[in-house]
Amino acid sequence: MSTEGAADLAPFLAHLRAHGVRFDVAAPLRRDPDAHGHPHASRHGDGTVHVPGLPPIAERRRGRVGSDHATWSVAVAIAAGPLVRPGDTVWEIGTGSGVLAVAAHHLGARRIVATDVDAGALEIAAGNLRAAGARAALHAGSLLDAIPADEPPPAVVIANLPHKPRREGDVLPLAEDGGPEGYTLLAAFARQAGRRLPRGARLVFFQHSLPHPRNLALLAEAFDLRLLSWKRRLLAPGEYGALQEWFVERSRAGTSYVAGREPEDRYLIACVWLASRR
pLDDT band at 171 (very low <50, low <70, confident <90, very high): confident
Mean pLDDT of the chain, nearest integer? 93
The larger pLDDT score, comparing residue 6 to residue 92, is at 92
Q: Is the pLDDT at 1 greater than 60, yes or no?
A: no
Q: What pTM does this model have?
A: 0.94
Q: How confident is the model at residue 160 (pLDDT cuts 50, 70, 90)?
A: confident
Average pLDDT over every residue of 158-187? 92
pLDDT digits (tens, 9 = 90+) for 52-79: 999 999 999 988 889 999 999 999 999 9
What is the pLDDT averaged over residues 232-249?
A: 95
Average pLDDT over every residue of 245-252: 97
User: The dihedral of CA 79, 83, 86, 91: what is its sign?
Assistant: negative
Mean pLDDT of 204-209: 97
Given a cut of 70, whether residue 218 has pLDDT beyond it is yes
Q: Sorting pLDDT into bands at 50, 70 and 90, what band is 44?
A: low
Residue 2, pLDDT above cutoff 70: no
Average pLDDT over residues 198-203: 97
List of domains in the chain: 6-277 (3.40.50.150)
Handedness of CA 74, 80, 83, 84 (dihedral sign): positive
Under the banding of pLDDT at 50, 70 and 90, the label for residue 134 is very high
pLDDT tens per residue across span 98-133: 999 999 999 999 999 999 999 999 999 999 999 999
Q: Give the pLDDT confidence score for residue 235 in this predicted structure.
A: 96
